Amino acid sequence: NAGVMQNPRHLVRRRGQEARLRCSPVKGHSHVYWYRQLPEEGLKFMVYLQKENIIDESGMPKERFSAEFPKEGPSILRIQQVVRGDSAAYFCASSPVTGENTFGSGTRLTVV
């Protein structure tokens, strides 16, 4: 029973490039959440999705960031035209309808 799978584990992008982060939830989980952790800080909520729907994106910057959770395939967090300040660890979590979040191991994005 695989947990939440995130890939890649590490991603290096130059300023201005696009970053795509993937998250496959636990099998049977219909809720996906993305969090961002900056150095020396806690995890900050970005977006909450269910299949084909964005439920809450209040924590996601309005520009350059987008997220999707299609009917088939993983959830994708997309960051366009990355800047140095986007460097962080991005964690995905999934949950069933009721139950606690299970987190993936994260994607560490470095913008150079």
Partner 1 sequence: DQQVKQNSPSLSVQEGRISILNCDYTNSMFDYFLWYKKYPAEGPTFLISISSIKDKNEDGRFTVFLNKSAKHLSLHIVPSQPGDSAVYFCAARRIGSSGSARQLTFGSGTQLTVLP
Cβ(48)–Cβ(33) below 8 Å:
yes
Shortest Cβ 81–partner 1 spacing (Å): 26
Shortest Cβ 46–partner 1 spacing (Å): 9
Strand-pairing partners, residue 12, are: 110
Other beta carbons less than 10 A from residue 14's beta carbon: 8
Shortest Cβ 49–partner 1 spacing (Å): 10
Q: Which is nearer to partner 1, 19 or 93 (CB)?
A: 93
Cβ(6)–Cβ(74) below 8 Å:
no
Query: At 85, is the secondary structure helix, strand, or coil?
Result: helix
Q: Which is nearer to partner 1, 6 or 19 (CB)?
A: 6
Shortest Cβ 42–partner 1 spacing (Å): 4
Q: Is beta strand 19-24 parallel, antiparallel or unpaired with respect to 75-79?
A: antiparallel
What is the spatial distance between Cα 58 and Cα 112, in angstroms, rounded to a whole number? 27
What residues make contact with partner 1 under the rule CB under 8 A? Answer: 4, 6, 31, 33, 35, 40-45, 48, 50, 55-56, 59, 91, 93, 95, 100-106
Q: Which is nearer to partner 1, 14 or 40 (CB)?
A: 40
